[in-house]
């Protein structure tokens, strides 16, 4: 997994986050910042010469430089007598080195910079043949977009109806009232053909119409939030260990098959 060269341990990380976690674990284990070095691809300068100056053979230095040039992080720690502890920390965080790559690929190859394949999700790490399987699953993601589902219109029509109202009016009537006379003698002779006129009037009603504003009707639209349930079939990957012959496997209860 990592190269142990005297008191120096070197490892390569395909993920910078894994490299940072490994360095954090080293410091928590008691390694000082002065003991830890790392290189990330930020310029055109390689690290071959620097590694050879540290005593690495040219072939190993070339390997680490090619990993560095491919954008991976190279971490080095001066361990004194704690090589195994640093080795375990690097291994736990997914690091690999020249020796582990050479062992897995049957010798050093410039294409052996990482052992994961995007098509299978399998990543091989470790000098003891440890293999890791990355399991994926599908998750539902909902997207919303407005669509026109209808239209509302506001218009007005004229509706005729019959209305009635009561109007108080006055008219004149003629009354005749009789009263007894005084019985006194009078010089007026009795005449004939006298006529008295009393004009009679009444009030007549005429109707006119006038438009007045009765009420106002407004129409608009506002957003109303509601919850809609969506569903679909999603898939996920599960790991199953297959074995042939008498092979003891720990930590795989209920997910093993025998060939």
Q: Is the pTM of this model over 0.85?
A: no
Does residue 59 sit in helix, strand or coil?
helix
Residue-range domain boundaries for the chain: 3-139
DSSP state of 81: T
Q: How many angstroms separate the CA atoms of 170 and 164, rounded?
A: 19
Answer whether 68's CB lies under 8 Å from 39's CB: yes
Q: How many angstroms separate the CA atoms of 208 and 230, rounded?
A: 64
Mean pLDDT by 10 residues, the chain (259 residues): 63 91 92 87 74 86 89 88 89 89 50 32 43 76 85 90 90 89 81 80 90 89 88 86 77 59
Answer whether 85's CB lies under 8 Å from 29's CB: yes
What is the predicted pLDDT for the residue at 120?
29
Q: How many angstroms separate the CA atoms of 215 and 118, rounded?
A: 70
Q: How many angstroms separate the CA atoms of 116 and 123, rounded?
A: 4
What is the predicted pLDDT for the residue at 39?
84
């Amino acid at each position: 997994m990592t190269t142990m060269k005297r008191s120096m341990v070197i490892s390569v990380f395909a993920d910078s986050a894994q490299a940072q976690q490994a360095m954090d674990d080293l410091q928590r284990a008691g390694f000082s910042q002065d003991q830890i070095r790392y290189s990330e691809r930020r310029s055109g300068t390689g690290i071959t010469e620097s590694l050879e100056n540290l005593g690495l053979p040219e072939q190993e230095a070339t390997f680490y430089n090619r990993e560095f040039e491919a954008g991976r992080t190279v971490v080095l720690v001066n361990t004194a007598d704690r090589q195994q502890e640093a080795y375990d920390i690097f291994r736990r965080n997914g690091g690999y080195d020249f020796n582990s790559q050479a062992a897995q690929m049957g010798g050093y190859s410039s294409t052996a910079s990482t052992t994961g394949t995007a098509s299978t999700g399998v990543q091989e790490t470790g000098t003891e043949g440890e293999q890791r399987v990355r399991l994926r699953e599908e998750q539902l993601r909902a997207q919303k977009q407005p669509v026109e589902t209808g239209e509302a219109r506001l218009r007005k029509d004229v509706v005729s109806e019959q209305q009635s109202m009561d109007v108080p009016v006055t008219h004149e009537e003629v009354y005749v009232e009789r009263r007894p006379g005084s019985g006194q003698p009078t010089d007026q002779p009795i005449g004939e053909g006298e006529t008295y006129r009393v004009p009679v009037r009444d009030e007549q009603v005429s109707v006119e119409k006038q438009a007045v504003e009765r009420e106002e009707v407004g129409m608009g639209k506002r957003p109303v939030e509601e919850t809609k349930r969506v569903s679909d079939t999603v898939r996920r990957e599960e790991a199953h260990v297959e074995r042939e012959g008498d092979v003891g496997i720990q930590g795989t209860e209920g997910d093993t098959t025998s060939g």
